[in-house]
């Protein structure tokens, strides 16, 4: 019987190994940029075409390689950084395993041009499918230029699994930003399909943060710097007012290597405790520098997950350093001594506080309850009536006024179009809700509807989310939502990362009623919005949609369209704290029960609860 176990040919073994290191174009970008940094380059240029599928080229002015080194660099586990096992535990360079170039050469067509300063001629090597096709001397500048073309040309199955160009480009930009943040003293540029997306001059870390993350952070960064015997921490965190409702702009670097760590994220979140809402996330770019023997960077192929020898002490130092920086910031607030002179002309300031006015004020129930001993927290129920009288009986809406009006207008608009005409299947009308049912608004959040055998309690935001979601689903199936053209189109300037994301979403947004056109490198013009959307809030609405979409829960493995529908439904739904008229409540209730799945939101939360008489009697022990 013949032996069955055989050694794999080198080219196949290399392709299998490449699957761990080169998962997508962005993986190759990361490896090539890190190699350029390790070569001591002060200028690094990244050029991509077709989101890296056709071309990824990195040009640096580093030390270059000799002819022999250039050839050896493509061998598996060929590295200049490890000579014995102890070196593995003292790594301070970015790349060290010697797998990147070998993996790239196994799945792409590679051309390398390199020259050392002391050599008159450089070396050009062409490799395809791990085989050297050509090696010859050439004239070239000092440094290295490496081009990889037609990624996965010899592994078509892997190529088919790549996402859209816009999606892959987002990953490339993410990797570029991480390396550029880690090395602010190096010039970086990124050009995509001939258009320059980034031009980052060498400078300070703060300058690099503003260049990459936006000018809005320019005056809102707090410096963090703590030096200890065990580790050093430096970088910047955002002031509390910059915290966002979604994750983003959060970067940890250990020995200049970008890492992902939920554990350290938690430490930083705790440092902001009671300074920002619990559901908000602060901005930070922090560098932890410690002895390489205290950290293992070799636990994951991408080296983005690491292990600390003592996680708890790192956690404590990070939290303490950020708390210290924020405390220093908070005890030196900015004082504005430029008093508006108009205030002095107000009647309440100029007129004397007469005895009659004093006695009238002191006789009020609010004054008495606030001045009674130990009663500063107590306000009698009737006292609120005076405040409502002063405001004309109008309830103050606590939410973003743009989104409140957007949600209310949506309630009015969507009810003008019968659900049957929107293509939504109409289930049997809910037996608890009739046309003459009297609805009650509770706590500006819930809608109470009596029924023959109890009552139902509807959550206005959850119910509205379901209604909007099903309407968007119908739009993406071909029934495009009507667009209202703007008389004065609004322009919106985005970061390069967000610009790539919006480009990817434009076709689906068009189906949902948004008419948005590119206008230059990272600028877009909002020509029209859904017909139900309040005019004047186009820019803010789009920014919030992008922000929430970017940081959607990646654990759910949802499609791009599904995430977009859920994002828009959550953003446009009428929020708690919004007062609804009787007609608006009726419209919302009728539209909810016309949905295919009226009982839950797209994410699975209940839209209403039903309480029956038997339950109520049991609760009261009857």
Residue 618 tokens read as 């049991």
Q: How far apart are CA 415 and CA 455, in angstroms?
A: 24
Lowest-confidence pick of 59-63, 183-187, 547-551: 547-551
pLDDT at 225: 93
Cβ(305)–Cβ(271) under 8 Å? no
**pLDDT tens profile 297-322:** 655 555 566 677 778 888 999 999 99
How much is the pTM?
A: 0.66
**pLDDT tens profile 54-107:** 999 999 999 999 988 888 888 765 555 445 555 445 555 555 445 678 888 888
pLDDT at 327: 86
Lowest-confidence pick of 224-228, 425-429, 553-557: 425-429
pLDDT at 551: 66
Please provide the size of the chain in residues.
Answer: 622
What is the average pLDDT score of the chain?
A: 78
Q: How far apart are CA 384 and CA 390, in angstroms?
A: 10
Q: How far apart are CA 108 and CA 74, in angstroms?
A: 12
**pLDDT tens profile 219-269:** 889 999 999 888 899 999 999 888 877 677 889 998 888 988 888 888 888
> Is the model more confident about 421 or about 165?
165
Q: Is 393 left (phi over 0), alpha (psi -120 to 50) or beta?
A: left
**pLDDT tens profile 14-47:** 666 665 668 889 999 998 999 999 889 999 999 9
> Is the model more confident about 338 or about 575?
575
Contacts of residue 216, Cβ cutoff 8 Å, sequence gap at least 6: 242
What structural domains does the chain harbor?
A: 10-203 (3.30.565.10), 206-330 (3.30.230.10), 401-552+559-612 (3.30.1370.100)
Q: What are the phi and psi torsion angles at 150 (to 5°)?
A: 55, 60
Nearest in space to 469 (alpha carbons), one of 365, 595, 355, 308: 595
**pLDDT tens profile 143-166:** 999 999 998 888 887 788 888 888
DSSP of 545-568: HHHHHHT--GGG---HHHHHHHHH
Q: How far apart are CA 345 and CA 22, in angstroms?
A: 70
For residue 133, pLDDT over 70 is answered with: yes
Specify the 3-state DSSP secondary structure of 587: helix
pLDDT at 610: 86
| pLDDT tier for residue 351 given thresholds of 50, 70 and 90 | low
Lowest-confidence pick of 81-95, 417-431, 474-488: 417-431
Specify the 3-state DSSP secondary structure of 207: helix
Tell me 54's DSSP state.
Answer: S
Q: How far apart are CA 128 and CA 148, in angstroms?
A: 10
**pLDDT tens profile 558-597:** 777 788 888 888 888 888 888 888 888 988 988 888 888 8
Is beta strand 131-138 parallel, antiparallel or unpaired with respect to 195-200?
unpaired
pLDDT over 90 percentage in the chain? 24
pLDDT at 298: 57
Nearest in space to 177 (alpha carbons), one of 210, 144, 143, 225: 210
Query: Once rounded to an integer, what is the mean pLDDT over residues 598-609?
Result: 89
| pLDDT tier for residue 123 given thresholds of 50, 70 and 90 | very high
Query: Once rounded to an integer, what is the mean pLDDT over residues 507-514?
Result: 85
pLDDT at 451: 78
Q: Taking the alpha carbons of 123, 128, 132, 135 in that order, is the dihedral positive or negative? A: negative
């Amino acid at each position: 019987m013949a032996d069955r176990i055989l050694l794999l040919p080198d080219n196949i073994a290399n392709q299998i190994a490449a699957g761990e290191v080169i998962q997508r174009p962005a993986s190759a970008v990361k490896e090539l940029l890190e190699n350029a940094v390790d070569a001591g380059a002060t200028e690094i240029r990244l050029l991509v075409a077709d989101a890296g599928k056709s071309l990824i080229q990195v040009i640096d002015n580093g030390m270059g390689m000799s002819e022999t080194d250039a050839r050896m660099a493509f061998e598996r586990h060929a590295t200049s950084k490890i000579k014995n096992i102890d070196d593995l535990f003292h790594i301070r360079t970015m790349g060290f395993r010697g797998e990147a170039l070998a993996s790239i050469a196994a799945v792409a067509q590679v051309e390398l041009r390199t020259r050392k300063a002391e050599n008159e001629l450089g070396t050009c090597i062409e490799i395809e499918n791990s085989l050297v096709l050509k090696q010859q001397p050439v004239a070239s500048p000092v440094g290295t230029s490496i081009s990889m073309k037609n990624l996965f040309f010899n592994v078509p199955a892997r190529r088919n699994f790549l996402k859209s160009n816009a999606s892959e480009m987002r990953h490339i930009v993410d990797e570029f930003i991480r390396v550029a943040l880690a090395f602010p003293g190096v010039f970086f540029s990124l050009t995509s399909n001939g258009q320059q997306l980034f031009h980052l001059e060498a400078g300070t870390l703060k300058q690099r943060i503003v260049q990459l993350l936006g000018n809005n952070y320019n005056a809102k960064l707090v410096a963090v710097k703590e030096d200890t015997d065990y580790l050093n921490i430096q970088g910047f965190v955002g002031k509390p007012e910059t915290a966002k409702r979604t994750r983003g702009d959060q970067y940890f670097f250990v020995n200049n290597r970008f890492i992902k760590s939920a554990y350290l994220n938690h430490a930083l979140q705790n440092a902001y405790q009671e300074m920002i809402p619990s559901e908000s996330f602060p901005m930070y770019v922090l560098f932890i520098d410690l002895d390489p023997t205290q950290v293992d960077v070799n636990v994951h192929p991408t080296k983005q997950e690491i292990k600390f020898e003592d996680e708890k002490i790192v956690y404590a130092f990070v939290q303490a350093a950020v708390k210290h920086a924020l405390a220093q910031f908070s005890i030196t607030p900015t004082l504005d001594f430029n008093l508006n002179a108009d205030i002095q002309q107000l009647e309440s300031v100029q007129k004397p506080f007469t005895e009659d006015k004093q006695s009238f004020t002191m006789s009020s129930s609010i004054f008495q309850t606030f001045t009674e001993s130990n009663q500063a927290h107590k306000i009698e129920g009737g006292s609120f009536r005076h405040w409502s009288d002063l405001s004309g009986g109008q309830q103050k809406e606590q939410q973003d006024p743009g989104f409140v009006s957007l949600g209310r207008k949506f309630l009015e608009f969507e009810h003008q179009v019968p659900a049957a005409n929107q293509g939504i299947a109409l289930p049997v009308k809910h037996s608890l809700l009739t046309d003459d049912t009297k609805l009650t608004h509770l706590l500006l959040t819930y809608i109470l509807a009596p029924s023959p055998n109890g009552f139902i309690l509807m959550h206005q935001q959850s119910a509205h989310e379901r209604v909007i979601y099903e309407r968007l689903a119908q739009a993406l199936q071909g029934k495009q939502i009507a667009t209202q053209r703007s008389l004065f189109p609004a322009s919106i300037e985005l970061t390069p990362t967000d610009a790539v994301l919006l480009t990817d979403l434009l076709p689906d947004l068009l189906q949902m009623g948004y008419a948005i056109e590119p206008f230059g490198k990272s600028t877009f013009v909002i020509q029209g919005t859904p017909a139900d959307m309040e005019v004047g809030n186009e820019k803010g609405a789009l920014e919030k949609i992008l922000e929430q979409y970017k940081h959607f829960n990646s654990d759910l493995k949802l499609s791009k369209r599904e995430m977009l529908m859920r994002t828009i439904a959550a953003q446009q739904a009428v929020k708690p704290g919004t007062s609804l008229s009787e007609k608006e409540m009726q419209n919302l209730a009728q539209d909810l029960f016309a949905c295919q799945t009226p009982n839950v939101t797209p994410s699975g939360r209940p839209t209403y609860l039903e309480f029956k008489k038997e339950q109520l009697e049991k609760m009261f022990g009857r």
